[in-house]
Amino acid sequence: YSVFSNPVLWFVQHGLGQRLARHRTREAIARAWERGYRPVNAAFADALGRELERSDGAPVVMLHDYHLYLVPAHLRARRPDILLQQFVHIPWPTPQHWLILPSTVRQELLSGILGNDLIGFQTHRDALNFLRTCDALMGETEVDYEQRTVSFRGRVTHVAAYPISIDVAEVRRLLAGPEVARWQRSLAAHLGERTIVRVDRLDPSKDVLGGFLAYERLLRERPAWRGGVRFLAFLVPSRDTIVEYRRYAQRVFRLVQRINTRFGTPTWQPVEVFYGQSYPRALAAMSLCDVMVVNSVADGMNLVAKEMPIANTRDGVLVLSTGAGAHEQLRLGALSVPRQDCAALAEALHRALTMSPAERRRRMELLRRAVEREDLPTWLSAQLADLCALRAARRGATARRGEIALPAPALIG
C-alpha cells in the first residue's frame, strides 16, 4: 500500500509520474515491485486459492482496484475454469504514462490483469486507454476496439465502462438527519455573501493548490468580489507517510496563508480550511454552497461531484474539471474547465458566481437527473449482469445484459 501501490502506481495512473520524488528511480521502483507489490499479490492469490478449493462448480471472483493487478493471472493458473472480473476505481492513462515503469514491471502488470475475463473501468475514456496501452506495450496481444476485447495467450478479456455512483437514498436519509442539521447551523456563521466550497482528500491528483491559485487570481483581477465571497475548503488528511503528499500539503497551507494575508481584512477572511474527516459536515457544506469546485487533474470518478447535486439546497453551480471521471456523465449540467488551467478556472468561478437564478436551476436539474438515473445499484447490477452473460456464453447459451437472473453473491471477507 505504501511501498508501491500509492507512491508509484497512484501517481502513474493519475498522469502525475513527473511528481514522483527523486529517490524513486527505476531501480527503486523495481525493488518496491519485487519486495512490496508482488509478494502481497501472491498472498492474496494464495488466500483466494485456498477458498476456491472449497468451492463447487465454476466460481466467480470479483477483484477491486490497482492493488491487485497480479492476482488474476495467479488465480487463472490455479483454476482455469473460474470467472474473473476486476473493477479499476482510478483512471487508466494513455500508454506513454506507463513508460516511467521498468519494462519488466509493465509486462508483468498487464499480463496479470489480462488474466481477467472482464475488466471494468469508470469511464469509456479509461477503457479506451487500456485497450491502447495493451496495443502499444504488449507485443502478444490482439486488440479489437469495436468489440472492446484483448486476446492474449489464447484467452479473451472483455473491457467495459461502469461509472460508479452514490447511494442516492442513503445520502438523502443522512441529509434529513439531525447530525447534518447541526452542521448546517454551525456552518451558517462561516458563509459569505457568496460561498465557494470544495471537499477533497489532500491529494496532488485533486489539484487543491490549483483551486486556490484560481481563487487568488479571481480576487486579484476582480476586486469587487473581495469582502463578499468566501472559499470554505473541507480537506481530509491523506497518506501523510508518503513524502510527495507531505510536501504537497505544505505547499497548500502556505498558499492559503498567503491569500489570507494579502486579501484578508479584520472582518473578512477569504479562505477557511476545515482539516479532518466528517461526512455529515461535508454534506452540510455541499448543501449550503453557491459554487462547488472539483478541479481534479485526474479522477477515476469523483463522488463529491455526484453528492453535491443531491445535497445542495441553493441551486449551486458545479465547476467540474474535464479530468474528473464524473465529467463524462455530468458535463451538460456542470461548468466545464480544462484541468490545470488557472485562468479558465478563475473565469469559471466568476461565471458561476454571476449566473442567473434560472440558469442555475436548469443546470441543477440536469445534474440531479444524471445522478438519479445511474445510481450505485445500477453500477453493481450492470457488472453482475455482464458476468452472468459471460458465464452463459461459456455454457453455449446466448444472453444480453439483464436477461440472466442474478445469483446471490457469496462474499469472502
| Closest C-alpha among 129, 124, 111, 28 to residue 71 | 111
pLDDT for 19: 82
Burial class (CB in 10 A: 0-12, 13-18, 19+), 313: exposed
Pairing of the two strands 229-236 and 194-201: parallel
The answer to whether 22 touches 55, Cβ cutoff 8 Å, is no
The C-alpha cell of 252 is what?
497548500
pLDDT for 350: 98
Alpha helices in 279-356 (DSSP H): 279-288, 304-311, 327-330, 342-354
The answer to whether 325 touches 122, Cβ cutoff 8 Å, is yes
Query: What is this structure's pTM?
Result: 0.91
The C-alpha cell of 13 is what?
495512473
Distance, in Å, from the CA atom of 165 to the CA atom of 308, rounded to the nearest integer, reads: 12
pLDDT for 301: 97
Alpha helices in 149-203 (DSSP H): 168-175, 178-187
Calculate the CA 120 to chain-centre distance. Answer: 14
Distance, in Å, from the CA atom of 81 to the CA atom of 96, rounded to the nearest integer, reads: 34
pLDDT for 191: 98
pLDDT for 2: 83
The answer to whether 283 touches 307, Cβ cutoff 8 Å, is yes
The C-alpha cell of 254 is what?
502556505
* DSSP state at residue 139: T
pLDDT truncated to tens, each residue of the chain (413 aa)?
Answer: 888 999 899 999 999 988 887 778 889 999 999 999 999 999 999 999 999 988 877 789 999 999 999 999 999 999 998 999 999 999 999 999 999 999 999 999 999 999 999 999 999 999 999 999 999 999 889 999 999 999 999 999 999 999 999 999 999 999 999 999 999 999 999 999 999 999 999 999 999 999 999 999 999 999 999 999 999 999 999 998 888 899 999 999 999 999 999 999 999 999 999 999 999 999 999 999 999 999 999 999 999 999 999 999 999 999 999 999 999 999 999 999 999 999 999 999 999 999 999 999 999 999 999 999 999 999 999 999 999 999 998 887 544 544 433 343 433 32
In angstroms, the Cα distances linking 118 to 30, 145, 293, 352 are: 28, 15, 34, 41
Burial class (CB in 10 A: 0-12, 13-18, 19+), 132: middle
